[in-house]
Amino acid sequence: MPHVGVCEDDPALRSVLTRALRAMGHDPVVVATAAEALRAFGRARPEVMVLDIGLPDADGRDLCLALRAAGLDAPVLFLTARDAMHDKIAGFEAGADDYLTKPFDLDELRVRLDALLRRTPAPSAGAGDGPVLDPARHALVRGDDEVPLTPTEFRLLGRLMAEPSAVVRRNALVAAAWPHGAIVSDNTLDSYVRRIRKKLEPLGLTDISTVRGVGYRWQ
């Protein structure tokens, strides 16, 4: 039975989803907060994840970045009450694979989940004991050390950490860090990266490298 991770804070919708997913033959792992999702999904390694955007302790898109940065690469379906276009684009930049706007039909959910499960990648080894992102506090945490980040720094670093060893292009970083379509100069992006590097230095983390003229790379 495929594990489906669900993070939704509305208790009524949570129980509807739990029942519906079981009826569809899935094994749901259902939580109500971003903090619980990071713990429970990290253990269960779901094959697909369903995330509400409006969570009590974090933005679901920041949760998605944190899950990706923690090495969970299962497809993500966002649930959202918002249908503004910029929110959808920002969701995809945060690493989402699909979207459902509330209220939605359970048949529609089933069809979308089946499609996502068909392209589920092989489970990854996970990030081990490396640094993790905390979407509730917008912080990078490693053991007892915690580096507070601004929301923009969090999204920028999350986008980089979500694809370790890959060169992330400047325009992808800008789209992830400034999701509302702000005009951001090259200098601004570079100075944000400088600030993040400075914050990570005390932990001995020097993992952001510059790829001149292209973008940046984590590790």
Which residues form the interface with Ca ion (CB under 5 A)?
9, 52, 54
Q: Which residue's structure tokens are 């089933």?
A: 110
How far is the C-alpha of 100 from the C-alpha of 77, rounded, in Å? 7
**For Ca ion, the closer CB: 80 or 159:** 80
Assigned token pair, 190: 């570079």
**For Ca ion, the closer CB: 57 or 146:** 57
Q: Tell me how far, at minimum, the Cβ of 98 lies from Ca ion, in Å.
A: 18
Q: Tell me how far, at minimum, the Cβ of 47 lies from Ca ion, in Å.
A: 23
Contact 208, 193 (CB under 8 A): yes
**For Ca ion, the closer CB: 10 or 207:** 10
The amino acid sitting at 71 is G
Contact 46, 67 (CB under 8 A): no
Q: Tell me how far, at minimum, the Cβ of 9 lies from Ca ion, in Å.
A: 5
The amino acid sitting at 166 is A
Q: Tell me how far, at minimum, the Cβ of 81 lies from Ca ion, in Å.
A: 7
Beta 48-52 vs 208-211: how paired, if at all? unpaired
- The DSSP code for 98 is E
**For Ca ion, the closer CB: 52 or 87:** 52
